[in-house]
Structure 1
């Protein structure tokens, strides 16, 4: 199977073309990676995964909807991640850190945002619709953010997070440019109404993503990647099709010049397409077919609802260098081994514990799924 051929990514080689995409699991200890997280990642590395990308990892203290999301801005977090990367490497696995800034989808009343002592920052003072901060009284939604005075300050935070990720022993970093978070907010004309060099034209709206990638490359060289979701929808982003093509086309043409290890293209996913005022938010189109031509040098990974059969077709045809599986990894630590052996992905998810549950052992629904008999 072409899916199980090795692949050179930057200056590392992964054993196969199967990646585990970032999956928020909300299990850290006050933003510090812990032992149960180590077990989770080691299980999935031992299950034959070519490349693991961590859950979204906060580059600075922010008021996320997931209060136990991990960070990588201080020494305790770096030490916690180092235990995980060392253990993953002992199994022969490879692991990237996904670098994450929420932008406007933080909440000012979240304890971490209060502790940060700064407002919720975004490209423009435009609130996203939706949100549900379950741990706050009344389960409030998103609020109007404060416009970022100087975006280079956030870029510097991304660069420092990349430096910290290197100290933590990762093999590379992935810039989270998808799903309506800060990079996507800068790209999207419905979230970014700036009139300076960071807004307006597609070139200006792509500036934040490109300058951030350049900063990460300064730290990591070719072991830098980016995930994008041009179809939009999630967290209230999405542009008309022609504007989407112009914006993301420019972004990818320029990113292709930076020597990145890969770009992950997220296809349209119905589960990530909210409805507002009786209308679906996303701009449905063929993301892979539309944007692949803009990447001549950079490996393409396809993400979102890929089946094992389709994964093999994507790689064997040359459409993609690799694929990412997301939700199957929640319930199957051994996705890659199952695919290789022709075993089904048939573990039943414990949805109630997808993000953990207060007062419940964090291992439940996290590291307690069975492997197949080979």
Structure 2
């Protein structure tokens, strides 16, 4: 089960309804669950009730979730996330976040990721995944249309990849081989996107160097038209086949594919030796027992409207579109 932003952590604190949500999906057959993006520090984010993992109350909230998932026999990784320049001081529930400015010392954010990994270990997580996708801070450093630095963190591909690699190294210091990376080279979300050759060169270098760090797995996110929004009348993404373009760069870690990958296609790709597995996202929202349905040949729910991003203003409606989806009979 891939990371899915669900906006139920009022005040950034993981709560009991989240225990129920993740518990349902572990009972439903999710052998490995990756949490929703979890902020490594207080940031202004467009997601109004995204959880964090920078203080003791958050750690305690996550521990309840981890314990429930483990009790059901599943593993769970925490996806660590920093939104970077997408931050905004007026973002809901993040009033103390400050405002986005140029990062004077990237090492301070590397340290935040490391501390978040330490906190995740305290909460009992089996591992951590770096959110390196969707135009957030890792992509912002990699992308030469976003990264205008002239120091050791900008300019050449090696310099632009430095930040993400240092973050991964810091996470590996805490979790060893139980660290993962998720990237979306074809994505244009949050106003990133380079010409094709620059994209290929940049991400092949970054992925191959990340693969040398002894990671558990690397997930490639395919091009998603719905997240390729227009800026000044133009799409920003560089749509291309991410699997064929980058699978050769992964020689050590397990390789997973994500984004509109159905089980049948995933099984075929695994049988051909092209990937080790797939991560499924949205279908886990409306099917808490998705894996068991697929295994048993049960039909999927016909639910066209998925209120998965809206969250809730208070705890009276947290379960709506969250823990109230039916299981197969």
- Assess if the C-alpha contact under 8 Å between 1:165 and 1:173 holds in 2: yes
Choose which of 236, 250, 256 in structure 1 pairs with 2:211: 256
Shift of 1:353: 5.4
Structural RMSD (CA): 1.3
Give per-residue Cα distances to partners, 1:314-367, cap 9 Å, x unaligned: 222221111011110110111111111122222415434543233551101000
Distance 1:354 1:112 in 2: 15
Shift of 1:100: 0.4
- Assess if the C-alpha contact under 8 Å between 1:349 and 1:365 holds in 2: no
Choose which of 170, 187, 191 in structure 2 pairs with 1:236: 191
What pairs up with 1:290-301 in 2 under 5 angstroms? 290-301=245-256
Task: Report the counterpart of residue 37 of structure 2 in structure 1.
Answer: 56
- Assess if the C-alpha contact under 8 Å between 2:53 and 2:59 holds in 1: yes
Distance 1:277 1:321 in 2: 39
Task: Report the counterpart of residue 73 of structure 2 in structure 1.
Answer: 92
Distance 2:140 2:286 in 1: 31
Task: Report the counterpart of residue 33 of structure 1 in structure 2.
Answer: 14
Between the two proteins, the alignment pairs up a number of residues equal to 328
Choose which of 50, 75, 86 in structure 2 pairs with 1:69: 50
Does 2:202 correspond to 1:247? yes
Gaps of 5+ in 1: 1-19, 121-145
Moved over 4 A (4+): none
Give per-residue Cα distances to partners, 1:187-214, cap 9 Å, x unaligned: 0011101000100111110000100000
Task: Report the counterpart of residue 99 of structure 2 in structure 1.
Answer: 119
Choose which of 272, 282, 294 in structure 1 pairs with 2:237: 282
Distance 2:33 2:188 in 1: 25
Does 2:103 correspond to 1:148? yes
Distance 2:162 2:307 in 1: 40
Describe the SS at the equivalent of 1:88: helix
Does 2:148 correspond to 1:167? no
Choose which of 16, 24, 32 in structure 2 pairs with 1:43: 24
Shift of 1:311: 1.4
- The 3 A distance-change label for structure 1 pair 306 and 315 is same
Distance 1:272 1:50 in 2: 28
Distance 1:340 1:315 in 2: 16
**Could you state the TM-score of these two structures normalised by the residue count of structure 1?**
0.85
- Assess if the C-alpha contact under 8 Å between 2:118 and 2:174 holds in 1: yes
Describe the SS at the equivalent of 1:238: coil
Task: Report the counterpart of residue 366 of structure 1 in structure 2.
Answer: 322
Distance 2:217 2:168 in 1: 12
Task: Report the counterpart of residue 335 of structure 1 in structure 2.
Answer: 290
Describe the SS at the equivalent of 1:96: strand
Shift of 1:228: 0.2
- The 3 A distance-change label for structure 1 pair 245 and 323 is same
- The 3 A distance-change label for structure 1 pair 257 and 106 is same
Distance 1:254 1:180 in 2: 20
**Could you state the TM-score of these two structures normalised by the residue count of structure 2?**
0.97
Does 2:38 correspond to 1:83? no
Gaps of 5+ in 2: none
Distance 1:290 1:36 in 2: 40
Deviates more, 1:359-368 or 1:68-77: 359-368
Task: Report the counterpart of residue 309 of structure 1 in structure 2.
Answer: 264
Describe the SS at the equivalent of 2:33: strand
Task: Report the counterpart of residue 108 of structure 1 in structure 2.
Answer: 89
Distance 1:83 1:201 in 2: 44
